[in-house]
Amino acid sequence: MSTLTATAEKPRSTPARPVYRVTGRRVLASEWAKLWSLRSTWITLGLGLLFLVAFGLIAASRYKSGIDSGNLDSDFADSTTVSLSLFGTNFAQLALGVLGVLVTAGEYSTGMIRSTLAAVPRRLPVLWSKAAVFGLVALAVGTLGAFVTFLIGSGIVSGTPADMSFSHAGVLRSLLGAGLYLGLVGVIGAALGALLRSVAGGISVLVATFMLIPGLISLLPSSWQNDISPYLPSNAGEGMFALTHDSTTLSPGAGLLVFLCWTVLALGGAAYRLVRSDV
């Protein structure tokens, strides 16, 4: 018997696959990659930025033309560069809020959420990561749009009663507050998408909350309006970036606190349903 046949062949050892742990940083990186892989992200963020800048500049141009012609609309009588620059905030919040709904509800509509939750069985880190990633992106877009619009708008209304600069009291706070408000709107949109698990349902509730309910409240008696209206999400958020306040509006700090409560409430509802019910 030869040595070759007597010697048993040693089995080839296959290299062990590396074990990947699910960490918060990796979940964040995954959600970041998914967010920017969608064409709708680029389109909707672009629309949000366009709405904020375009409507702000249109308002500033209309104010300037009214001053020059001596026929200023009464709605613009007390305008400032800040209020004119942030005129498009209501339109930008709709675009960013809708994209927030798509970030979460979109995965439920396509069924991709099953793969996501299989990779992250604890579930809640997925919600926190989606909200954090998109909230920061919406914050950056909103802040950029507010500052760009103010810079251009201040040049348009230069020499008019509305003229202001960064050195004026409250200007920086208002611009940063507008960016923070839009960032939190994006978080609320993501929370509504995870809570309702429907793109149409999430968008409907978002539009009703920020646009329809304030209009319905205006139909109530004045005493009721004064008690309810300042604490609505849209009105509380407006207090965050308004340059001036009166007895019917919340201060910037109070507005931020109330709006944070609405944001936490939406996230809490989404987290409860995510943990308690299956996909």
Is it the case that residue 20 has pLDDT exceeding 90?
Answer: no
Token pair, residue 23, equals: 């960490």
- Rounded Cα distance, 144 and 71, in Å: 32
User: Is pLDDT at 118 greater than 70 in this prediction?
Assistant: yes
Highest mean pLDDT among 17-31, 45-59, 245-259: 45-59
Do the domain assignments include residue 131? yes
What confidence tier does 18 reach under pLDDT thresholds 50, 70, 90?
A: low
Classified as helix, coil or strand, 166 is coil
- Cα–Cα distance between 234 and 139 in angstroms, integer? 16
Specify the DSSP element, H or E, that contains 116. Answer: helix 113-119
**Per-residue tokens: 92:** 């930008």
24 falls within a domain: no
> Is 92 within the bounds of a domain?
yes
Per the domain annotation, does 18 fall within a domain? no
Which range has the worst mean pLDDT, 12-26, 39-53, 143-157, 207-221?
12-26
Domain annotation covers residue 2? no
Quick check: is 86 in a domain? yes
CA 74, CA 230: separation in Å to the nearest integer? 24
15 is a domain residue: no
pLDDT-wise least confident of 17-21, 78-82, 166-170 = 17-21
Structural domain range at position 242: 30-276
| CA 3 to each of CA 7, 8, 9, 157: distance values in angstroms, whole numbers, following the listed order | 6, 10, 12, 97
When divided into structural domains, the chain yields a total of 1
- Residue type present at position 257: L
Nearest to 116, CA basis, from 106, 124, 126: 126
Residue 11 lies in a domain: no
Q: What is the mean pLDDT of residues 23-48?
A: 90
Band (pLDDT 50/70/90 cuts) for residue 94 is very high
Q: How confident is the model at residue 4 (pLDDT cuts 50, 70, 90)?
A: very low
Q: What predicted TM-score, i.e. pTM, was given to this entire model?
A: 0.89
